[in-house]
Amino acid sequence: MDAALDVAIVGAGTAGSAVALFLARAGHRVTVYERVAAPGPVGAGISLQPTGQAVLARLGLLAPILERAARIDRLHVMRHRGKTLVDLRYADVEPRWFGLGLHRGTLFVTLFEAVRREPGVTLHLGAEITSVTRDAEAITVHGPAGPRGRHQLVVVADGSVSELHATAGVPVATGTFRFGALWFVADDPGAAWKDELYQVVHGARRMYGVLPTGRGPADDRALVSLYWSLALDDHARWLADGLDAWKAEVRSFDPRIEPVLAQITDPAQVLLARYRDVRMKRWHGDRIVFLGDAAHATSPQLGNGANLALVDAWTLAETLAAGPDLARALPAYTRARKHHLGHYQRMSRLLTPLFQSRSRLLGGLRDAFMPIADRLGPFHRIMVKTMAGHERGLAFRKPLALPPP
């Protein structure tokens, strides 16, 4: 059997671009279908954890990211006008670990430009894939105008609103979280926020966050990202109330935010992110496999979505390296990802209502118990490892498999 496979990858985001690079470099024939005709750097700041960094290092892409990102040493969460809720420092578990705050566009451009340069990848832009069909010889990807290509394997990496859930033949449950986040990326000429992802919570209804975002994808200005939790139902009221009312409330969470607020003069500058929940018991079907948000989107509470997508990409390449028999390799991929992804999906679902809901009780319980847990060695360790992307589930102590340094 020819060890090289003909692989279609749907979506050139974090998961799709990373897996395209791994598979092309392993000798597979790779075709990437990306819906957007001229993809560019969009989005706000994201955290790149030690796990995602290890995968990018394996691709030879960590150095350009390090040049533009801001180093993050801890997650510091405060109660509104109160005490620290949790203080999670990477070095408490592993001195070599740190996070990176960077513009999502920086990660996108770095991966996408590498895909463009990769000789083994055929890239189709403006190529939306809406369904798949199968016959004995091939799995075919279809766009709105008909069939686009016949392949041996389809890797679905088209994000949380995947168009391929319907025809893939893999059971899936999806939903939308009731809370999302407003976000704004600002210039940070004074570098007021350094070394930490800083958050302030007020019950479970209000959450404010600031992430140093390094230098943007387009130029060398220092950036910082502001997040503000908001129930989707309240967005219309937020718009009606006007910017001044909101700014006054944000100021009460962190008076240092004034230079950032001064840059917001129109509500249209502040974008609303919605979070989707995607649950699958297995991430593979007949000659098809789901990666990244298409496979396991959840709320970004743990700051790990892009990191999980990168680990997915490396793990799939490793599983296929063991042999091209898809009937063995794809179930092996699901088994390899089960515990790691299961932990992040469970923890996101558990924590999201504690930080983003209308419940007074849950906010109160969180404020009472999280500081205690944070001071208890084993719980603190689990929290730091979860933040760093390394936790595989409380009963599962085997370290996460990652590319060697």
Ligand X SMILES: Cc1cc2nc3c(=O)[nH]c(=O)nc-3n(C[C@H](O)[C@H](O)[C@H](O)COP(=O)(O)OP(=O)(O)OC[C@H]3O[C@@H](n4cnc5c(N)ncnc54)[C@H](O)[C@@H]3O)c2cc1C
Q: Which residues pair with 99 in a beta bridge?
A: 72
363 near ligand X, rule: CB under 6 A: no
Cβ-closest position to ligand X: 13
Residue 343 or 367: which CB sits closer to ligand X?
A: 343
Q: Which residues pair with 79 in a beta bridge?
A: 201
Phi, psi angles (nearest 5°) of residue 296: -155, 40
- Identified binder of ligand X from the candidate list 21, 69, 85, 157, rule CB under 6 A: 157
264 near ligand X, rule: CB under 6 A: no
Closest-CA residue to 373 (of 360, 357, 386) = 386
Q: How far apart are CA 26 and CA 115, in angstroms?
A: 14
Longest CA span, the chain:
66
391 near ligand X, rule: CB under 6 A: no
33 near ligand X, rule: CB under 6 A: yes
356 near ligand X, rule: CB under 6 A: no
Residue 77 or 367: which CB sits closer to ligand X?
A: 77
Build a one-symbol-per-residue string for 180-199: x at contacts with ligand X by CB under 6 A, - elsewhere.
Answer: -x-x----------------
Least CB distance to ligand X at residue 221 (A): 20
Alpha helices in 258-300 (DSSP H): 258-261, 293-296
216 near ligand X, rule: CB under 6 A: no
- Residue type for 278, please? V
Give yes or no for a contact between 21 and 317, defined as CB atoms under 8 angstroms apart: no
- Identified binder of ligand X from the candidate list 5, 24, 47, 285, rule CB under 6 A: 47
304 near ligand X, rule: CB under 6 A: yes
- Identified binder of ligand X from the candidate list 5, 22, 34, 210, rule CB under 6 A: 34
Cα–Cα–Cα angle for 398, 403, 405, rounded to 5 degrees: 110
Interface with ligand X by CB under 6 A: which range of 19-27, 67-75, 169-177, 300-308? 300-308
Least CB distance to ligand X at residue 158 (A): 4
b/e code 228-256 from CB counts within 10 Å (16+ = b): bbbbeeeeeebeeeebeebbeebeebbee
Contacts to ligand X by CB under 6 A: 10-16, 33-36, 39, 46-47, 104, 128-129, 157-159, 163, 181, 183, 273, 275, 292-294, 300, 303-307, 309
